[in-house]
Structure formats: C-alpha cells, structure tokens
Amino acid sequence: MKVSGWTPYIRLGLYAFTMVESIIMLCITAARLHYTTQKPFRDPFFGTTGVPFYDPIVVALLFASLITMGWSMFVLIAKFQRLEFFVLTTRLGEIVILSTFWLSWVTSTGIASSYWGSGMICNYYQPCQLLSAMLANAWVTWTMLSALLILAIFFDSVKKLGNGSANDSKRREITKHTESAFCVNTSEGKVSFYGSLETKEKMSY
C-alpha cells in the first residue's frame, strides 16, 4: 500500500497549525487567569463579590497548551533538522504522546464547555468574549490533535503492512531458490547434491 507523497507535508502542516493554535490558547488562558486574579469589584457576569479567584480548568487548558506547543515545535525542528529521536523514528511513541494530549484536551475542553458552553451573551462583554474564544480555540486544537493521531495510526498500519509484504516476498524468494538449488547427478555412479546457487557448494557421496 503506497502513501501519497503529499501526506508527510500535510502532517507537518497540521503540526504547524497545532503549534499556532496552542500559542493562541496559551495567550487566552493567561489573559483569563490574569482577569480572574485581578477581578474588578463590580462584574456583571460573575456578580459583585470582587473576590479574586482562578479557574482550575483554565489552568489545565494552559498546561495542555504549553506542552502541546512544546511538542509541536520539537517535531517541526526535528523534521527540518533531520534529527533522529525514538519518539519520532517509532510510530508507537508518537501515538502514545498524541493519545495523551488528545485525552487531556478532550477532558479539559469538555469540562470547560459544560461551564461556559451555553447561555452566554457575549456581544459587548469582553470577559465573556474571552471565554467564547477560549472554548472555540480549544475545540479547534483538539480537532488538529485528532487528525494527527489518525495520521500516525494510519502510517503505523501502512508500515506494518509493507513490512509484512516484504517478508512474504523474501520467504517466497528463499523457497524458490531452495527448490531450484538442489539437483541430483547420477553420472559415474555418484550422487551429487548442489547447495545454494550463490555459494555453489558441492557435496558428493
């Protein structure tokens, strides 16, 4: 099974887009944390308590953005510099890392959506618009990770199929050589067995 020549470029493009989205998410979550820890006395969206606080789920999204950004940068630099690392040369390592990120994003984004996903009117209120942007970018980042994970699993499956076909071809070739390499020579009352065609070894009895 052949892989399209454009597929590696699509993969690198997805990593680049994921890195950009992670940087955007990092900025949005940092702005959200700054707002909640420096909350003004009167807040029409959260009431008038004026008590500074922070959202644990926003911290989780910030951490997910940070590690996703770092991983995407690492992959892009390693590919362009042609560096060899275990997690890149083996698809299993990449699949494990992407699966971990995928679970982290879907969990954090799902919880955040349950808090702020509905019932918000954000036409003019900036903190509400910040939350809407955070949720939108979080789901976009999760979608990019889903696409990268699917591609990694696809590449791994293609590689295994290719190795299996190559091994089958080698076995058939060895069997063919083995069957044609041995012959019997009964001239002069001797029986001779000729070994491998490459080595031309001869055993006489």
The answer to whether 50 and 40 are in contact (CB under 8 A) is yes
pLDDT of residue 27: 97
User: What is the rounded distance in angstroms from the CA atom of residue 69 to the CA atom of residue 76?
Assistant: 11
Name the token pair of 171.
């076995």
CA-CA distances (angstroms) from residue 28 to 12, 35, 76, 97, 117? 24, 11, 23, 24, 16
Whether this model's pTM surpasses 0.95: no
CA-CA distances (angstroms) from residue 88 to 60, 73, 76, 174? 26, 13, 11, 33
* pLDDT reading at 40 higher than 50: yes
pLDDT of residue 104: 96
53-64: per-residue pLDDT in tens?
778 999 999 999
pLDDT band at 172 (very low <50, low <70, confident <90, very high): low
User: What is the rounded distance in angstroms from the CA atom of residue 172 to the CA atom of residue 93?
Assistant: 32
pLDDT of residue 145: 96
Question: Quick one: DSSP state of residue 193?
Answer: E
CB atoms under 10 Å from CB of 74, counted, come to: 17
**14 φ, ψ (degrees, to nearest 5):** -65, -40
Crossing angle of helices 126-181 and 7-37, rounded to 10°: 150
134-169: per-residue pLDDT in tens?
999 999 999 999 999 999 888 777 766 655 444 555
- Name the residue ranges covered by the structural domains of the chain: 7-168
State the average pLDDT for the chain: 76
Mean pLDDT of 81-108: 83
104-118: per-residue pLDDT in tens?
999 999 999 998 876
